[in-house]
Structures are given as structure tokens and as C-alpha cells.
Structure 1
Amino acid sequence: MGKLDTLDPQIAAVIDAGYLVPLPKRDAEGRRVVLSCMGRFDPHLYDSCVMARVHSMIVELLLDEPRSQLLGYTHVNDEAGMQMPHVSLWSLSDVRVMLNCIQVHSTTTTHEPRSQLLGYTHVKDEAGMQMPHVSLWSLSDKTHFVNIPHYGVRFFEFAVSLLSDKLKDRVMFHRTSEDLTKHVDPEILPKEYGGTVPLKDMIEELKSKLLTYRSDLLALDDMSVDLYALEKNDLTQDIHSTSGSFRKLELD
């Protein structure tokens, strides 16, 4: 899929447009709030691969935050400006694969002590393209959708229908930004949504952070995964051994 390079012209343009922005302030539960604005992604200039790379980059950036690993995320999706070309970026088969991955990952999130210790692997579909929302969605405690155009309703109804009841309970739909602020503190959101800090300032902060982590993100391409590592990992064996010991304990 290519390197996650914040200086890549296409990635830089999408980031600069404000398509996907982790907001500086956390919610009342301490969760990082991630805002995506579909109308800020130009489907005539960029394809699904660029979208996936941007999502993957933000996911990697957020997974480096221990607090976020423990507390999860709140995802706010503003679909204002969504066009039919946006919908056609991903085939129904892609959507099915992605949602299936989300449901599998939702059972093995960072909230699990073992996962906190051993880490994660990223999911790729049969074609090798990394699914953009998987890691972030699987760690989301609440996902909000707002300003869905009438021609996009069926698409989201189809997507949500494929989710488990557990994940369906995490999804909320709002007609307007005003409705959204009844569930998400407007102080967390950009000024354009009722907050105080302009979105452009949040974008600049994100760009600065991505530059700071650029070498780490590029280094991901040099990593490989040993599928048998868990079988050979001493820490894993210690955990299994410890778990077995606890099961043998008897209380007086």
C-alpha cells in the first residue's frame, strides 16, 4: 500500500484538508475523540488506497498513546458533503470484509490485559489492502454519524445491519450538528461544530505531531510479523502459567 509518509503529496493534501483529525481535548471518560469529515475528502482526486493510508497513519499515531489504548475512542463522522463517488470508493465486498474484521477485533481490543502486554496485528483483506477503520473502530466505545445525505442512508443502513448487536449499540445517528452536541461536549469539537478552537488550528497541531513521528511511521514498513511468535514468547508462557496458578488457588 506504500509508506505512511506524512510528506507524501497526496497524504499531506488529505491531512491538510481536514478529512481525519484526532481532536486535542478528550471526552469526560478520558477518550480521544476522532473527527472525520467526508466532504473534505475529494473522491475525484484520491482513491480508496489514499483514504486507507490516511486512516492507517492516524491509527498508528493514536495507538502510541497508552491512555488511549486503555480508554478507547469516540468517533464522530460528519457525512456532510458526501457524494455518490464517495460511496463507490469501496465495493460492498470491501465493506463486508472491513466490518467482519471490526467485529473480530472488537473481541480482542486494548481493554484486554493480555492485549495490552502483547500488542496487535493489523488486518489486511485478500488483496493486501489494509482496512482503514478496523483498528480504530474496534477500539471505539461510541461512534456518531451526523449529516448523512438522503442517498447515503441506505449505504449506512446496510453497513450497520452487518454489525453484531454489541457494536450496533455503540452507533448513534444524528440529523444535525446541534443534535450531535447533545451527546458530545461541544467544547471538545472544533469551532465549526460549536467549540472554541478552529479546525484549522487542530489540523496544524496534527501535522506537527505527524512530522514528529514521521520516522516511526516510516519504520513500520521495515517491520515483519512472526506468526509463531506467541508460541515461542516467554512472556506469553509466563502469562499462561500465571493464569493456571490463579485457577488453582483456593480460598479459605
Structure 2
Amino acid sequence: MVSAATLLLPNEEVKKKIKVEVNENVKTKDRDLAHIKEWLRKQPHLPDKWDDERLINFLRGSNFSLEKCKTKLDLYFTMRAACPEFFTNRDVTRPEIARSLSKIQGAPLPVLTPNGLRVNCFRVMDENLDSSFVSSLLKLSLMLGDVRLKEEAEGVAGDVYVMDVAPLSPAHLTLLSLTTIKKYLICVQDAYPVKLKEIHVVNSNPVIDVVFNMVKPLVKEKIRNRIFFHCSVDGLTKYIPKDILPEEFGGYGGSLQEMHNAWEEKLKTYTKWFKEQESIKAIETLRPGKPKNYDEILGTEGSFRTLSID
């Protein structure tokens, strides 16, 4: 039986298809990796070295374009410095994080879809949410992202997110910080090597319409076109096989609560690693040329700007 916190990797057939999709060439892969490692060593403001598994995942997320990979890595390390609220104090036993964990169910599912996609399911379980809930939830999402960067050594075809938002009401709108959401979207859209294929919002309601209209200008058009709203879980099986979906989403893929509990325990084992990783970030005073202005990157002066990665 598959462990609830396991990340199964693609089979050989799917792996071959993914390699074609991301332009991964076994003959040039090692050379590309060596190029990126040498480039990192020459950047005084970036870490001298990083583990091969994560660098390869950044190459995959950049379709093995060396220049795209460099831009994405630079932004990733820059955001780690610019957003300490996401990248420090990453300890699931901290009161604010533990409190948020108790109000949700969520985990990346262990089994991939037939075409190699990783499905991530989340449910809000409690309507009594406090001001730290959103920021803690976004931090947890990026913590999971960093663990997956380390553990998904063979890569996946992309990500699918399924979110059940049934308990949310107009009162929860006051918990949202547009600035925090902007920072998070820069991370997931531009800094992390994520290929976001679908987002499914389940038990959608008028509050979600308001939230979506608020953040819509900040979301890239190609991602906006991949967002689907459902009144119930019934429509999910059109997109995701029922044998993969957890029981809470109408599937046969096991208990999401058990997966949630297993991942909480797994994240506890990463506490020391997360602490060690806090120093892995850009140092602007050492950047050649003009240092990055965080206000310009994050758009905190009233307009939202991202670093272009074309």
C-alpha cells in the first residue's frame, strides 16, 4: 500500500513523454546542468552551489532553456530574501502554523494522473479563521513546493490544484491582503519551476467571485484560462480520475485527512532542513550592477509588476 506522504514518480512511458515536453535530452542534460552550476558559482549574490535534483527541476520548469532557467533561479533566490514571511520560521509546530493546519485538510496526492500530473487537494474545514490563516496557508504551500523540488527527482508533467472553499463567507474577505497575494503569485507564477495545468475551485460561491475578480489582474492569462469553478465535487471526474481523488472529493484514492496528517508529520522531519535553507537567498549588496528594488519587483507602490520570463 502506498504511504500517505509518498510522492510516486512517473512510469517509464510517461517519463519519456515528459522528457519530450520539457525538451530534456539525455545527451545534453549533464552539460546543461554543469552550465547552470558554473553560472551559479560566478554570481556573487547567489548561492555558490545547490543540489542537482532541484537544479534539474528548474531546468525542466524552464523547458531546458538555459537563459530562462537563470532568470527563474535568480528570481527564486531574490524572493526568498524579499519575502521572509514565506521563507523563514518554517516550522509546523509554531502556533500560527499549527492553528492553520488544524483548520484545513490538504496534501499533494501520492499517485499521479495517467499523463503524469500531480494533483494537490485542499479543503477549508473551519469557518473560524484568524488574521494569520492566509499567510500561514501560503507559507505551507511554498514549504510543500520546496519539499517536492527536492523529492520529485524525475519531475512530473505538471500540477493540478483542487480547492474546496465551502466554509468561506463575506466576513473572510477582511483576512485577505492583496500585497501578500501579489507576493505569493510572483513566487508560484515566475519563481518556482511549476507547470500549472489546472485549478479547480469546488463549492464555489459569490465570495469566491469577489476574490477572483480582485486577483484576476495579477494572474497570467494562460493560468486564468485554466481555472474552473464547480458547484460541487461531481464535476471533478471529468478532469481527474476517480481512483486518484480522495474520498472527501468523491473518489476512491484514500483519506485526505490521513494524507494531511502524514504530510504534517513529514514536514516536522524537515524542520532542521528548512532552518538551514533560510540562508539560501540572494544578497542584493553583492549583486553586480544595480541591486534589485523589492518595491519595484513586488509592486508595493500601487502597481503590480513581475519580472518577465518569456
Distance 1:30 1:41 in 2: 34
Q: CA deviation at 1:56?
A: 2.6
- Render the CA deviation track for 1:31-51: whole Å, top value 9, x for unaligned: 221112234474237443323
Q: Which of 15, 27, 30 lines up with 2:101 in the alignment?
A: 15
Match of 2:117 in 1: 31
Distance 2:229 2:104 in 1: 21
Distance 2:228 2:249 in 1: 17
1:51 aligns with 2:107: no
- Indicate conservation of the 8 Å contact 1:19/1:40, yes or no: no
Counterpart code for 1:90: L
**Change beyond 3 A, Cα 1:41–1:10:** farther
SS in 2 for 1:185: coil
1:215 aligns with 2:215: no
Counterpart code for 1:34: N
Q: CA deviation at 1:217?
A: 1.6
Counterpart code for 1:52: L
Q: CA deviation at 1:5?
A: 0.7
Q: Percent identity?
A: 24
Alignment of 1:58-69 (within 5 A): 58-67=144-153, 69=155
Distance 1:68 1:140 in 2: 17
- Indicate conservation of the 8 Å contact 2:117/2:160, yes or no: yes
Distance 1:43 1:228 in 2: 39
TM-score, scaled relative to structure 2? 0.55
Distance 1:40 1:28 in 2: 33
SS in 2 for 1:222: coil
Distance 1:156 1:48 in 2: 15
For structure 1, the residue ranges without an aligned partner over 5 or more in a row are 111-137, 232-252
Alignment of 1:101-120 (within 5 A): 102-103=188-189, 105=190, 110=193
Instruction: Give the aligned length.
Output: 201
Alpha-carbon RMSD: 3.0
Alignment of 1:1-252 (within 5 A): 1=85, 2-40=88-126, 42-44=128-130, 46-67=132-153, 69-96=155-182, 98-99=184-185, 102-103=188-189, 105=190, 110=193, 138-196=194-252, 197-226=254-283
More divergent stretch after superposition (46-55 vs 30-39): 46-55
Distance 1:6 1:176 in 2: 31
- Indicate conservation of the 8 Å contact 2:103/2:125, yes or no: no
SS in 2 for 1:36: strand
**Change beyond 3 A, Cα 1:139–1:38:** farther
- Render the CA deviation track for 1:40-72: whole Å, top value 9, x for unaligned: 474237443323332232222222233575523
TM-score, scaled relative to structure 1? 0.67
Counterpart code for 2:111: K
**Change beyond 3 A, Cα 1:13–1:187:** farther
- Render the CA deviation track for 1:17-44: whole Å, top value 9, x for unaligned: 4343222222222222111223447423
- Render the CA deviation track for 1:122-147: whole Å, top value 9, x for unaligned: xxxxxxxxxxxxxxxx5322111111
More divergent stretch after superposition (182-191 vs 84-93): 84-93
Distance 1:200 1:155 in 2: 26
Counterpart code for 1:80: A
For structure 2, the residue ranges without an aligned partner over 5 or more in a row are 1-84, 289-310
- Indicate conservation of the 8 Å contact 2:163/2:200, yes or no: yes
Counterpart code for 2:118: R
Q: CA deviation at 1:76?
A: 0.9
- Render the CA deviation track for 1:173-211: whole Å, top value 9, x for unaligned: 222100122212222222121223122211222123213
Match of 1:135 in 2: none
Distance 1:24 1:86 in 2: 31
